[in-house]
Amino acid sequence: MTELAPEPDPPDDAELWRRIRADDADAFGLLFARHGPRIHGYVLRRSGDPTVAEDVTAVVFLEAWRRRGSVTLDQPSALPWLYGVAGNVTRRWHRSRRRHHAALARLSSLPPRHPELVEVQAEAAERSRTVLRQIEGLPRRERDVLVLSVWEGLSHHEIALALGIAPGTVKSRLSRARARLDPDAPAPPPLTPPTPLAILETPS
């Protein structure tokens, strides 16, 4: 009986990024498969607009590809950095869209989304808009921290990586954000249960 060789461990993001920096488009595709849905969910919740969420998500990854020469990933997960890129792209969607105008035109030629998927995304966006209305009065920096903490389930350390700030700053912004919110109002519900990033990084 022949013994099967064990499946090799999937490359971590740091390895994928090394390959991406060497212009490996397939590695880039793997990075998207690993983190794309998570980033899409974040963009959908931040924008509350299912019609643009896929475009924004595509631009986030196109931006990641564009910056591959100047970014060195020295941690096992690219996800915190991708969250940071996604936040900036979402905020500056008008400008980002111009930069990737041609690619977005090609993206529009993809087959339409499945009707059930459209429905799921629309429901998620509607729930997002409800929560966004609760926190829209917060300063942007506090809102960013709150969203990454409550909605995305990131730890203080991961939020610090995503936003490029100190973990202590994450804690103070989160504290201020919560203090500003009406204490009598119900807490913004997480749209998805927070999931440790470590699990997401090693899909089976």
Partner 1 sequence: MTSTPTLDTQRTDQLRSFLTVEAAADAARRPPVLTPARRRVVVGAAAALLLAGGLVGAQSVGGSAPAAIAVEVDGEWTTIRLVDIDADPDAVVADLIAAGFDAERQTLEVITVDGDDVLVGTEDDAAVGARGFVTIGAGEGGERGLVGLSVTLPEDVAPSSAPAEAGRIIETDPVPFQAGAGGLSVVDEDLLDAGVRFEDDGGVSIRTGTDATIVVSTES
Q: Which residues bind partner 1 (CB under 8 A)?
A: 21, 23, 25-26, 28-29, 32-33, 36-38, 40-41, 44, 53-54, 57-58, 61-62, 65-74, 81, 84-85, 88, 92, 95, 98-99, 103, 106-107, 110-111, 113-114, 116-117, 120-121, 124, 141, 160-166, 168-169, 172-173, 176, 191-193, 195, 200, 203
CA atoms of 52 and 143, how far apart (whole Å): 21
Q: Are 46 and 147 in contact (CB under 8 A)?
A: yes
When the beta carbons of 57 and 149 are compared against partner 1, the nearer one is 57
How near is the Cβ of 4 to partner 1 at its closest, in Å? Answer: 26
How near is the Cβ of 198 to partner 1 at its closest, in Å? Answer: 14
Q: Within the chain, where are the H helices?
A: 13-21, 25-47, 50-66, 79-91, 93-99, 101-107, 115-135, 140-146, 156-163, 167-180, 197-201
How near is the Cβ of 5 to partner 1 at its closest, in Å? Answer: 27
Burial class (CB in 10 A: 0-12, 13-18, 19+), 18: middle
When the beta carbons of 112 and 183 are compared against partner 1, the nearer one is 112
Q: Are 131 and 188 in contact (CB under 8 A)?
A: yes
When the beta carbons of 3 and 74 are compared against partner 1, the nearer one is 74
